[in-house]
Amino acid sequence: MNLKYPLLIIILSFSQLVRSQNDTLHIGIHQLDNSFFRSRGDSVMKLQQLSPNKPSPVLSFKKLDLSRKVFGWHPYWASSSAYLYYDYDVLSHLAYFSYETDTVTGGYKTMNGWDQTPIIEYAHQRGVKVLLTVTNFGSAANTALMKDTLKQNRMIQSLIMLLKMRNGDGVNFDFELVSLAQRSNLVSFMSKAAKKIKSEIPGAEISMATPAVDWNGSWDLQALADICDYLIVMGYDYYWSSSATAGPVSPLAGESYNVTKSVDTYLSAGVPAQKLMLGIPWFGYNWPVNSSARKAAALGKATSVTTVAAETLSLNYGKTFDQSTKVPWISYKDASNLYRQVWFDDATSYFLKYELVNNRNLAGIGIWALSYENGKKEIWQGIQSAFSATAINDDLAIQMNNAELSVYPNPVRNIASVQFRLSKLQRVDLKVIDLTGRTVLSLLNQELSANDYTIYMDCTPLKSGLYLLVLASTTGNLTCKFVVEKN
């Protein structure tokens, strides 16, 4: 099925603008998804459906020369075949989620199949590093670990053993809801863990999943960045399942808090850009609301939906690109005639986030979560388009060329040719949008048969600047950037 299963969320209602310091209000999607699938059992994994496309066998493999790291969390609840559909051409790091900490001993409650999963060798064969994610959720759980050096030592030795057992490439620490009282202890623990793991496994990478907003002041970001190879700021959960209103899960701009502000806060705190990665959501939220108005009041808890599921809804109900926050949203009535509102990310909003990564010269992106793309290719293609100049050659392939200025991404002065290939009969919408999400050129909107096409694009009316060329079809979406340069 396309819709990701509703999350069973046990948190208190709160306002987006006035937040209590009670850490039960700050539960993130990593913990929520883990709790939901843990409560349902392993049978849930078998229910997740993939697209019917079959992965191609790998006879030889050559990695793309990407300008950024692409890190993705692989959750234990993904279907047993999901990893076969990941684009290892694009992916640089895969984090197996997760080693769940036993705070009584410092060992693990479960390693969720790390000792048996075939994904480690499969990813290694394709040039992707594999890390083991360690999770510890909640203030009490993190206090229990941070105050006890014996538990810490037990954890570190256990991690070293598990990495050696499966030839792992490092550890990703996902400690959420750390209290202010444990700020210095967290730094001390990470310093000890990094030194011991690296001494036993030369070349091991140490990273952390870190909050978009440090509500309690618990994170010494500069010190942690000095210790770690990179930090992955979780650029989502700005609006939660229990928000008082519907709203953007990952706003690029607008709002009291947003992705751009989070990134700039990290950089201002002394985190080097080359050690900072931006977490990207492959999910959104669907709220029951009281009207069709933007950010309408929520009538209950939202359910989690994958980006793919949200795009499917948009085919039936349309979507609005929110100019303030730079993300799309959907308003519709369900089968019970109740209003619902979905906020999520699409090809355009992803691309704008990738531009932030490029403009701030960050290390790359992190993805929550692999398998949520449901086997679809266009999400991977958008990443490739943003971080690699290599042309995409697939069922839907698109290139931009300027007749006078050689190959994209060189600037376009007047006329450009847009070339694309369709593998089957389908409806195609080809348009140019600016960075506010406004459509500035509509090039094509009609049904086309399988063939190679060339469309000439007159950029004369456009001002100098960066634009996005968006090709949407029933097969999928592709987005390419290009620059208009006027004399």
State whether 139 and 178 are in the same domain. Answer: yes
**What is the pLDDT, as a whole number, of residue 421?**
82
For 47, other C-beta atoms within 10 Å of its C-beta total: 11
Q: Write down the pTM of the prediction.
A: 0.81
Question: Dihedral of the CA atoms 400, 401, 402, 403 (nearest 10)?
Answer: -150
Greatest mean pLDDT among 16-20, 333-337, 420-424, 449-453 = 333-337
State whether 238 and 96 are in the same domain. Answer: yes
What's the chain's average pLDDT? 85
Q: Which amino acid is at 239?
A: Y
State whether 433 and 374 are in the same domain. Answer: no
**What is the pLDDT, as a whole number, of residue 4?**
45
Query: Binning pLDDT at 50, 70 and 90, where does residue 479 land?
Result: confident
Does the residue 351 lie in any domain? yes
- Flag whether pLDDT at 3 surpasses 70: no
pLDDT tens by residue, 201-255: 999 999 999 999 998 899 999 999 999 999 999 999 999 888 999 999 999 999 9
Q: Strands across the sheet with 426-433, in order? A: 439-448, 426-433, 465-473, 477-484
CA distances to 28, 44, 320, 342, 343 from 241, in Å: 10, 21, 21, 11, 11
Q: How far apart are CA 419 and CA 389, in angstroms?
A: 16
Does the residue 388 lie in any domain? no
State whether 356 and 461 are in the same domain. Answer: no
Does the residue 313 lie in any domain? yes
State whether 359 and 443 are in the same domain. Answer: no
pLDDT tens by residue, 278-321: 999 999 999 999 999 999 999 999 989 999 999 999 989 999 98
Q: How far apart are CA 241 and CA 323, in angstroms?
A: 23
State whether 270 and 308 are in the same domain. Answer: yes
Give the pair of three-digit tokens for residue 201.
Answer: 């496994």
State whether 371 and 352 are in the same domain. Answer: yes
Does the residue 3 lie in any domain? no
CATH number for the domain spanning 402: value is 2.60.40.2550
State whether 418 and 337 are in the same domain. Answer: no
**What is the pLDDT, as a whole number, of residue 475?**
66
Q: How far apart are CA 227 and CA 411, in angstroms?
A: 41
State whether 441 and 324 are in the same domain. Answer: no
For 81, other C-beta atoms within 10 Å of its C-beta total: 12
Number of domains in the chain: 2
Give the pair of three-digit tokens for residue 231.
Answer: 């930090």
**Cis peptide bond upstream of 309, omega within 30:** no
Does the residue 298 lie in any domain? yes
**What is the pLDDT, as a whole number, of residue 30?**
95
- Residue range of the domain that includes 419: 393-484
Query: Binning pLDDT at 50, 70 and 90, where does residue 9 land?
Result: very low
Angle at 274 between CA 269 and CA 280, to 5 degrees: 85
